[in-house]
Structure 1
């Protein structure tokens, strides 16, 4: 997995900047606790922190190859799941390998094919190549945006890193956030390339960014394309299952302990069952982990989003698949701990505002990391197969905006409820979202003869696969890598994404339910309870003690009269939320409190320069 960073400065010799490069590299220590390395040559400096997964002794980075015309150096984060096939092909072309790592395959692939190596990779990756032969930096990110990748242009080059913190460790990159950054922060639309921090950008998914003395260029090597789907239902179900079996086989490869993230929903249950079947053929058992909260199963209260607790279904899957299972049970004290909140914000570099769902994910991953280094997740199946409520909500279907905003607005209320009215006026979030939506739907191609309804559903699927999924993938990556855990997302394999995206909605929901194709493709390995279960989102605690702790922390924040958070947060709105007499035990009631506390702690940690003009 790993964390990467670097600096290209065409007007200086970066050998004199070792201290700064070391500082940038050390910010990635959480992503790579096993090893570190730096490499400097004239205008290029690369840093790497390693989480060893494949070829534990042989995959150290930065990795270099000397050619007659100069050195080619690579820093790489991620996994190439088809590296074995690529290695054979490169060996047939005359390449010789010194390690068994997928990193060397990517480096040799670049030597053979240049930046077109990206077209041949199946995996999750973010990597940078300094090519001395042409004095250029090549940055490449995986198709779905599973691995994060940021850059910051300077007057004579560029800074880059797996996370913003690596870039912000360089004095050339100020920690500044303007109005557009706040707009992005307070909406859930994930504008491609936007990084919130002023002057910083993301390398967009499926994109190559090249930097040389003539400037910076971007090229998309992959995008989600509209194609006809001619397979009938049975063939489609069979193809989905065949793809899933191949994907799971590839993603189980590791030289370290593996496990499954199991929620008891269709997605993670299918992954766990398929993995258990494959490993069982070799006499291995799957380890599985689930998150739960103290008293949640015994005192669960159903609502419109979550009709059932996860734990009974988790245990059904564990019994059926024969996994070695463990529940990670969290209490309100841990979820509300300001130290955990600080770790989450450090992991994200931003105040995400998802409260106990962020804290529990971090704590779950931290507990798993004590026993495993790689985990497979059911993340992204809802986006691929159509699992969210908004796919079936007529208001969201016809809303003329990002459909999840309709659903979230109904269930959680106004996201910015504690923000100052004058800030809300200045941001004009409604116009920002409208502009973002117009840009997001502009390039979606309609098939000849496609009905209005089918094209509307294609648009909704496209929005989820190119916008919403990136929010969740970033959350997953940051929380897991903050504790040195690699989480793989099989449902993001681009072959599966392309195939299912182009399957008509009538096939995706042929039985009138969510994720019909996935359910039928894996029906033989699922317990009946999970096959019949209705979609339930990632769990959230219902313990009123958690809400009470938030109120106490908000009151403490209110006592700090000079805190800069009140440039953004309305003091009276926050006071009303903190003084509420009724138990604060739903996500909607807690949302404003969590947003304010996150913002305040982010300001304490990062001391951002907030520019409201």
Structure 2
């Protein structure tokens, strides 16, 4: 795992470029503390930057990676962030084709596959990655991001040249990249959901998951082509795979065993994250069986029993014989400088301090000597695990519509009303047009937006004009991937394209893990597992109201009974209003970042209206309303701190 960055600027390349590249690399030290490398090509105006976290090929994996003249790759140079699984088999196949290797690193296969297959080479890559390859012969730069966006990658094309980086801060360290905030993006961050590809800054784009960017020199500038090479394609309704329950269960089990086996491979010890959900517990159980030795398991414990899952995780750890390490977090841990650091590394706002908790966990994991963890992200997205997904299934699928399960689910999940579950139903015509209904997962954030709008300043509203963020999100979805699909497939697809990359894998994943140089490997997001999951019929993914039914059955032999029978429970940190200590901590951040002077300087809010809203929040005892206000405050604090923290 690593950090990459670079610039291509024939007209802007000067004798200061190497020094500026050093400054860009400095911002990515946390992504690669084990070494750094540069490729400077003044003739082409190119600088490529790599900071290394050594996981595979510890003594022979330095980058940039250069091709060889004797196998036809001499014109290629690459900087690779990520892991390519099954690389040993691919290296063997490439050798038979006459390709030769300089290192034992998995990264080197990218150059060879590109030379052999052209742009179709990405179809042969399996893993989590974001990388750049420069082809001097074609004068072409190729940027690639993995299928789900597990690893980040950003780019900017402007008068100063073409720039890219694992994090925006690397690009912003160069004077050729403008730092102009986009008010539309600020609004999206206030309501949590971003449009795919959008960032906080105008002109800086996130390369979308499953996409590549082909950059070619054109006169004094660059031509940029964005190409989708993979998508989460669900079958048309009624065209899912046909098999017995036992066959589906065995397919899922076999796919997960293979995925976890690949992710256990490293030249350093590999640990696992362990919460109280069946996803991480399944990984712990399978990892222990695969390596036939105890697994190191790391668990977060919160100081509020309603949100804490550590006791269930402990039962799983005992069953698997895992060596469990529990990090106990208190109110003061989740706010103050830790909150600010999480904003710095995430480069976006977050609705809940779970991201802060995960950042503290990644630090703890590194402090005790681990560089790699396997995680459970992606299971809910692929196998129908979220309560919001079931709510739509209960509403729109005739097979479930008449059951009392929806109301029962809401009763059991009442604590999440105002956050991941909407307290009242709301719809939008753009989603009705694109999907045929407004999915439950977007409704809480639409309600957040409704509460934010009255607080905005007149000047900020004038900048937005008639911009509709909900319509922008809806119309960003590819309707051809939704038409004719089952309701469960529709909601899973729409979530995967938005919240998975923008939330789960951002401030819930790579960005807070790599803040402390920790590589996380989400086994469920292996694309072989994903493509299998998408072909499984909806009633096998969710059976009789039981989410992730096929996963439960596939992992039944490694799960304790209490977990096998347990309904999905959203993993989040206790909101600020839930006890006095947390309220006191968020009040300190409010005083620092939401002062009248800071509000006036940033210009998003009407100071009097925001102050009145905060005062109302402090006096209220309505849990759902206060949870919504907690969300707004978390976003507002982060937005006002962002410019200073990046």
TM over 0.5: yes
- Note closer, same or farther for the CA distance 1:288–1:583 as it changes in structure 2 (3 Å cut): farther
Equivalence for 1:59: 61
Quote the offset at 1:527 in angstroms. Answer: 0.4
* C-alpha distance in 2 between matches for 1:86 and 1:124: 16
Q: Does 1:593 align with 2:629?
A: no
* C-alpha distance in 2 between matches for 1:12 and 1:312: 58
Q: Does 1:390 align with 2:388?
A: yes
Equivalence for 2:48: 46
Equivalence for 1:238: 250
Q: Per-residue CA shift, 1:96-127, capped at 9, x if unaligned?
A: 22321101222222233333221101101011
Equivalence for 1:218: 226
Equivalence for 2:133: 129
Equivalence for 2:430: none
* Contact 2:190–2:635 (CA under 8 A) maintained in structure 1: no
* Contact 1:287–1:325 (CA under 8 A) maintained in structure 2: yes
Q: Per-residue CA shift, 1:486-539, capped at 9, x if unaligned?
A: 011111111111221232212211232111111111111100011111111123
Quote the offset at 1:403 in angstroms. Answer: 3.0
1:539 to 562, 567, 572: 572
Quote the offset at 1:577 in angstroms. Answer: 5.0
Quote the offset at 1:380 in angstroms. Answer: 1.5
1:432 to 463, 469, 492: 469
Quote the offset at 1:565 in angstroms. Answer: 5.1
Secondary structure class of the residue paired with 1:137: strand
1:515 to 533, 544, 548: 548
Secondary structure class of the residue paired with 1:537: coil
Q: Does 1:76 align with 2:80?
A: yes
The 5-angstrom pairing of residues 344-423 of structure 1 reads 344-350=342-348, 352-371=349-368, 372-394=370-392, 399=427, 400-407=437-444, 416=452, 419-420=455-456, 422=458, 423=460
Quote the offset at 1:290 in angstroms. Answer: 0.8
Alpha-carbon RMSD across the aligned residues, in angstroms, is 2.5
Equivalence for 2:506: 474
Q: Does 1:20 align with 2:20?
A: yes
Choose 568-577 or 70-79, whichever is displaced more: 568-577
Quote the offset at 1:47 in angstroms. Answer: 0.4
* Contact 1:544–1:583 (CA under 8 A) maintained in structure 2: no
- Note closer, same or farther for the CA distance 1:88–1:543 as it changes in structure 2 (3 Å cut): farther
Secondary structure class of the residue paired with 1:340: helix
* C-alpha distance in 2 between matches for 1:153 and 1:89: 37
- Note closer, same or farther for the CA distance 1:408–1:535 as it changes in structure 2 (3 Å cut): farther
Structure 1 unaligned residues grouped into runs of 5+ = 448-453, 607-613
- Note closer, same or farther for the CA distance 1:14–1:257 as it changes in structure 2 (3 Å cut): farther
Quote the offset at 1:311 in angstroms. Answer: 1.5
Choose 397-406 or 170-179, whichever is displaced more: 397-406
* C-alpha distance in 2 between matches for 1:594 and 1:418: 17
Choose 50-59 or 99-108, whichever is displaced more: 99-108
- Note closer, same or farther for the CA distance 1:354–1:108 as it changes in structure 2 (3 Å cut): same
* Contact 1:418–1:592 (CA under 8 A) maintained in structure 2: no
Equivalence for 2:267: 255
- Note closer, same or farther for the CA distance 1:556–1:109 as it changes in structure 2 (3 Å cut): closer
Choose 25-34 or 182-191, whichever is displaced more: 182-191
Choose 86-95 or 587-596, whichever is displaced more: 587-596
- Note closer, same or farther for the CA distance 1:532–1:175 as it changes in structure 2 (3 Å cut): same
- Note closer, same or farther for the CA distance 1:374–1:457 as it changes in structure 2 (3 Å cut): same
* Contact 1:181–1:197 (CA under 8 A) maintained in structure 2: yes
- Note closer, same or farther for the CA distance 1:430–1:382 as it changes in structure 2 (3 Å cut): farther
Secondary structure class of the residue paired with 1:77: strand
Secondary structure class of the residue paired with 1:147: coil
* C-alpha distance in 2 between matches for 1:123 and 1:598: 32
- Note closer, same or farther for the CA distance 1:289–1:397 as it changes in structure 2 (3 Å cut): same
2:286 to 247, 268, 274: 274
* C-alpha distance in 1 between matches for 2:592 and 2:47: 44
Q: Per-residue CA shift, 1:17-49, capped at 9, x if unaligned?
A: 111111112111110011011111122110000
Secondary structure class of the residue paired with 2:49: strand
Choose 163-172 or 355-364, whichever is displaced more: 355-364
* C-alpha distance in 2 between matches for 1:556 and 1:75: 40
- Note closer, same or farther for the CA distance 1:507–1:245 as it changes in structure 2 (3 Å cut): same
Equivalence for 2:643: 603
Q: Does 1:569 align with 2:605?
A: yes
* Contact 1:332–1:546 (CA under 8 A) maintained in structure 2: yes
* C-alpha distance in 2 between matches for 1:578 and 1:548: 13
1:95 to 93, 99, 102: 99
* Contact 1:551–1:577 (CA under 8 A) maintained in structure 2: no
* C-alpha distance in 2 between matches for 1:226 and 1:395: 16
* C-alpha distance in 1 between matches for 2:295 and 2:341: 29
- Note closer, same or farther for the CA distance 1:531–1:324 as it changes in structure 2 (3 Å cut): same
2:562 to 526, 529, 537: 529
1:169 to 170, 173, 178: 173
Secondary structure class of the residue paired with 1:30: helix
* C-alpha distance in 1 between matches for 2:528 and 2:137: 34
Equivalence for 2:421: none
Q: Per-residue CA shift, 1:316-352, capped at 9, x if unaligned?
A: 1000000000110011112122x212211110223x1
Equivalence for 2:432: none
Secondary structure class of the residue paired with 1:210: strand
* C-alpha distance in 1 between matches for 2:190 and 2:334: 23
* C-alpha distance in 2 between matches for 1:397 and 1:405: 15
Equivalence for 1:34: 34
* C-alpha distance in 2 between matches for 1:191 and 1:216: 20
Choose 271-280 or 571-580, whichever is displaced more: 571-580
Structure 2 unaligned residues grouped into runs of 5+ = 397-426, 428-436
- Note closer, same or farther for the CA distance 1:133–1:95 as it changes in structure 2 (3 Å cut): same
Choose 392-401 or 237-246, whichever is displaced more: 392-401
Choose 518-527 or 155-164, whichever is displaced more: 155-164
Secondary structure class of the residue paired with 1:176: coil
Quote the offset at 1:95 in angstroms. Answer: 1.8
Quote the offset at 1:597 in angstroms. Answer: 2.0
Q: Does 1:465 align with 2:496?
A: yes
Q: Per-residue CA shift, 1:77-97, capped at 9, x if unaligned?
A: 000011111111111112222
Choose 212-221 or 363-372, whichever is displaced more: 212-221
Q: Does 1:264 align with 2:272?
A: no
* Contact 1:39–1:62 (CA under 8 A) maintained in structure 2: yes
* Contact 1:139–1:210 (CA under 8 A) maintained in structure 2: yes
Equivalence for 2:401: none
Secondary structure class of the residue paired with 1:392: helix
* C-alpha distance in 2 between matches for 1:584 and 1:445: 37
